[in-house]
Structure 1
Amino acid sequence: MQPTPSDSGRRANDGPKAAVRNRAALIAAAREIYAADGPNAPLSAIARRAGVSQGVLYRHFPDRSTLATAVLEENVRQVEQMATTEGTTLRDVLGVVTWHLTESAAFIGLLHADTAGSPSGLSTADLDLAERVERSLRRHLPVGHQLGAADDLMLAVAMVSGAVTGPTRETRERRTLAAWRLLGVEVGPVRPFGA
């Protein structure tokens, strides 16, 4: 009798389900690796962390920038989900933004985008992501808020993101919250959407 793949210790091919699972694992691994080692971390480390081969990584993400964009897209999607949740306030959305700031150097770079149109070194896709974050925040900005002027909101976010330094996530969070406090802005619980 011939052993089946599952008998020999190999996983059965789950087809499309495996592809979805692998893509999600690669994005989660990239977020962790980027937080620890920065956006230029070896792709091989991301594949290992996700438990897949580099071939699988390249099937989903043909280059470094497509993987980084996928991570950023998920970050922005969480900000948008919080912004569209009933009963959400500006401080709630800022809590999610702050969590992503403390977790992702790439997210920090995205929020330094100049959405007014001057060259920033970011792609059109990245500028679109930055504009989506701004729309999510503005949706909850009370009339007459101190950050209500045209460029003030995203300038404040960029200034706060400059404070995101330190060897641990806790240190980065503490410094980021202090920067918001210095600007007189209240931030809700610092956590990803859905946590």
Structure 2
Amino acid sequence: MTPTHPKVMTQNRGPAAAPANRDAILAAARQLFAERGLDVPFSAIAQEASVSQGVLYRHFRSRVDLAVAVFEENVAAIMQVPESHASGADRFLAAWTQMVDMTVSHVAFIETVAESALDPRIEDLSEEIRAFLRPVLAEAQDSGVAPAGITLETLFIALRASYGLVKTHPINEGSARDEVEGLLEALGLPTAR
């Protein structure tokens, strides 16, 4: 006679859990992308989010879909920061500081764009952030906070150079951040200091 073991029943919340599962997946992906880059296995993301891989794939069919969702949240965060600031100079400094911080702290911010550059959603998000920054940068230049000769392209080149410093830095984030601050100062761009 085969012994019977009582089954432990877990409550399956089904579709009601979908928004919480998606949020948990995005939080886990953001954390693991920041720590390990975009090559982190889906299984590690599912485990960190406390969901099955099936649930993860129900929300995000591919790594690009997940990376785009994380990038979309990053863009939204940048565009929300300046809302509390009255002047264009304050809005620019808040947005720029957020972008530099994401570049230094979360390498996936730049990797997402590089890895998924051909995805039209990335192109749309990139244009959305550029459209947001154009008038903010112009106001900051009018008030003297940003140098007159700085363009949006200069800002994005500075971010890519900052990413390169962080990605290739052999020591730690703190010393890499110091190098990024030095680079931005040399370019005449505002720093978080």
| Common fold: TM-score over 0.5 | yes
Residues 82-122 of structure 1 show CA distances to partners (whole Å, capped at 9, x for unaligned) of 13333333221111111211233331135669xxxxxx943
Aligned-residue offset at 1:29: 0.6
SS of alignment partner, residue 73 of structure 1: helix
Change in Cα spacing, 1:40 to 1:111, as seen in structure 2 (3 Å) is: closer
RMSD, matched Cα: 2.8
SS of alignment partner, residue 122 of structure 1: coil
Establish whether residue 140 from structure 1 lines up as the match of residue 136 from structure 2: yes
Q: Which structure dedicates a bigger proportion of its chain to helix?
A: 2
Counterparts in 2 of 1:115-194, with a 5 A limit? 121-141=117-137, 142-143=140-141, 145-149=147-151, 151-165=153-167, 166=169, 168-188=172-192
Q: Which amino acid aligns with 2:94?
A: D
Q: Is the 8 A contact 2:26 2:70 kept in 1?
A: yes
Q: Is the 8 A contact 1:112 1:158 kept in 2?
A: no
The answer for the alignment partner of 1:34 in structure 2 is 33
SS of alignment partner, residue 165 of structure 2: coil
Identity fraction in percent = 31
Residues 40-82 of structure 1 show CA distances to partners (whole Å, capped at 9, x for unaligned) of 1110000000111001100100111100111111001101111
Name structure 2 gaps, 5 residues minimum. 1-6
CA distance in 2, matches of 1:173, 1:9: 49
SS of alignment partner, residue 47 of structure 2: helix
Aligned-residue offset at 1:150: 6.2
Residues 127-179 of structure 1 show CA distances to partners (whole Å, capped at 9, x for unaligned) of 22222232333332123634544633333333333222335433443332222
The answer for the alignment partner of 1:10 in structure 2 is 10
The answer for the alignment partner of 1:117 in structure 2 is none
SS of alignment partner, residue 84 of structure 1: helix
CA distance in 2, matches of 1:136, 1:174: 28
Establish whether residue 93 from structure 1 lines up as the match of residue 95 from structure 2: yes
Counterparts in 2 of 1:15-26, with a 5 A limit? 15-16=15-16, 18-26=17-25
Q: Is the 8 A contact 2:28 2:48 kept in 1?
A: yes
Name structure 1 gaps, 5 residues minimum. 114-119, 190-195
TM-score (norm 2): 0.77
Change in Cα spacing, 1:146 to 1:20, as seen in structure 2 (3 Å) is: same
Would you say how many aligned residue pairs link Structure 1 and Structure 2?
176
Change in Cα spacing, 1:150 to 1:24, as seen in structure 2 (3 Å) is: closer
Q: More relative contact order in 1 or in 2 (CA 8 Å, sep 6+)?
A: 1
SS of alignment partner, residue 84 of structure 2: coil
Q: Name which one, 1 or 2, has greater alpha-carbon Rg.
A: 2
